């Protein structure tokens, strides 16, 4: 799945990172919610962290990702 490092850095598999990018694009700008640091690392804005964690956990439980 994924894990949080230093509060907001997310290292995850390709499916998780693609979800984060799609989620952030719904706000119009990718960097509004996440910043893509490397191929397998993104930085999640502090205000969106709980929303994203909830959404990813719910989707993984339902096997929708």
Q: Comparing C-alpha atoms, which of 56, 57, 62 is closest to residue 24? A: 56
Is 0.85 surpassed by the pTM of this model?
no
pLDDT at 6: 41
Q: pLDDT (tens digit, 9 = 90+) per residue, 9-64?
A: 555 667 677 777 777 777 666 555 666 666 666 677 777 777 777 777 777 777 65
Residue 1 pLDDT class (50, 70, 90 cuts): very low
Residue 5 pLDDT class (50, 70, 90 cuts): very low
Q: Which residue has the tokens 């850095």?
A: 9
Rounded Cα gap, residues 38 and 57, in angstroms? 23
pLDDT at 7: 42
Q: How many CA atoms lie within 13 A of 24 on its CB side?
A: 21
Q: How many domains does the chain have?
A: 1
CA 29 vs CA 13, 14, 58: distances in Å: 22, 20, 24
Residue 50: which domain range?
A: 2-61
């Amino acid at each position: 799945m994924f894990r949080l490092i230093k509060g907001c850095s997310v290292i995850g598999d390709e499916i998780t990172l693609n979800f984060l990018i799609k989620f952030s694009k719904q706000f119009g700008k990718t960097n509004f919610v996440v910043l893509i640091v490397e191929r397998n690392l993104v930085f999640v804005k502090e205000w969106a962290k709980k929303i994203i964690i909830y959404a990813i956990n719910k989707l993984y439980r339902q096997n929708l990702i």
